[in-house]
Chains A and B, each alone.
Chain A
Amino acid sequence: MLNDYLPVLVMMAVATVIAVGMVVGSYLLGPKKPSRFKQSSYECGMTPVGTARERFPIKFYLIAMLFIIFDIETIFLYPWAVTFAGSERAVKLFNLAEMAIFVGILFVGYFYILWKGAFDWDEGQREDAEQPSRKIFEPRAPIRFGNESSGEVRLKAAADVSSSPTEESSRLTHV
């Protein structure tokens, strides 16, 4: 059974040899005359500034989320299409109606996010746009990814606990 995989193994071995050979070969054979510009990440164009771990605008995540949902829902179309092609004429109309209902429900979601303004890239043009809490270029605290120690922030959390009841009561307003 494993014989079937022999060509794949040979292929992998050849690919590895070629790739490693090229890297090692250029390292051994090539002349080395380092300079400051050659050492930088981009040899021409912009001078590299700052960290590579830039924060992306949150809108990318929003669009990604919306994309994932509608993207995945299309997989239901494939089994449907296979059944549809093989079904009788009388059943076909019914199957078509079923899929129309399914897509209709998707459209409810689509129109909801469309009218809600989730696709407006420039939020400033919306009438009820929330004002961004902070300018983009203002210095920010570094992002914590969870792998750093979190000793001092715990203290901050403890302080939040002690102050929260008053905040809570002040936030309540009669309408």
Chain B
Amino acid sequence: MLGVPTEYFLVLSGILFTIGVIGVLIKRNPIVIFMCIELMLNAVNLTFIALGRHFVHVNGQMYVIFVMAVAAAEVAIGLGIIVALFRSKETINIDEVNLMKY
């Protein structure tokens, strides 16, 4: 197969996924956390496309469409929840949204 070998894509998507995970763990702003989660999902999309190309399956690309639709719904719900939280709390810092403790 011509072009970039599949391993490159897999490594790149692994790195992107890891960046996303680290971002989720260290950031405090839910919108940024959310962006990191989207990064993780897009890393998976890259994996699917690369694998689909490698196996010469159309499935790999089809899955990406489903994942994108799910991610869009996730964005809408996430923004909705964050907006609702902001309206009642006037802050979106997750350290301050922590009433319940063990």
Chain A interfacial residues counted at CB < 8 A: 27
Given A65-B80, A161-B99, is A144 in contact with B69 using a C-beta cutoff of 8 Å? no
Q: Is B22 an interface residue (CB 8 A)?
A: no
Q: B68, A72: Cβ atoms under 8 Å?
A: yes
Given A69-B72, A76-B69, is A164 in contact with B99 using a C-beta cutoff of 8 Å? yes
Q: Give complex CA distance A172, B3 in Å.
A: 66
Chain B interfacial residues counted at CB < 8 A: 29
Q: B76, A147: Cβ atoms under 8 Å?
A: no
Q: Give complex CA distance A69, B92 in Å.
A: 23
Q: A65, B79: Cβ atoms under 8 Å?
A: yes
Q: Is A17 an interface residue (CB 8 A)?
A: no
Total A-B pairs, Cβ < 8 A:
66
Q: Is B85 an interface residue (CB 8 A)?
A: no
Q: Is A146 an interface residue (CB 8 A)?
A: yes
Residues of B81-102 at the interface with A, using a CB-CB cut-off of 8 Å, are 83, 87, 90-96, 98-99
B residues within 8 A CB of A153? 91, 93, 96
Residue of B nearest to A78 (CB): B65
Q: A61, B83: Cβ atoms under 8 Å?
A: yes
Given A61-B83, A147-B29, is A66 in contact with B76 using a C-beta cutoff of 8 Å? yes
Q: B28, A160: Cβ atoms under 8 Å?
A: no
Q: A58, B72: Cβ atoms under 8 Å?
A: no
B residues within 8 A CB of A71? 72
A residues within 8 A CB of B4? 1
Q: B32, A146: Cβ atoms under 8 Å?
A: yes
Q: Please encode chain B, from 3 to 34, with 1 for each CB lying within 8 Å of some chain A CB and 0 for all others.
A: 11000000000000000000000011110100
Given A65-B76, A146-B92, is A72 in contact with B69 using a C-beta cutoff of 8 Å? yes
- Which B residues have a C-beta under 8 Å from some C-beta of A? 3-4, 27-30, 32, 62, 65, 68-69, 71-73, 75-76, 79-80, 83, 87, 90-96, 98-99
A/B interface sample: 10 pairs, CB < 8 A: A61-B83, A62-B83, A69-B72, A69-B73, A72-B68, A75-B65, A76-B65, A144-B93, A147-B29, A150-B96
Closest A-B pairs by Cβ, 6 of them: A146-B29, A72-B72, A146-B28, A146-B93, A65-B76, A153-B96
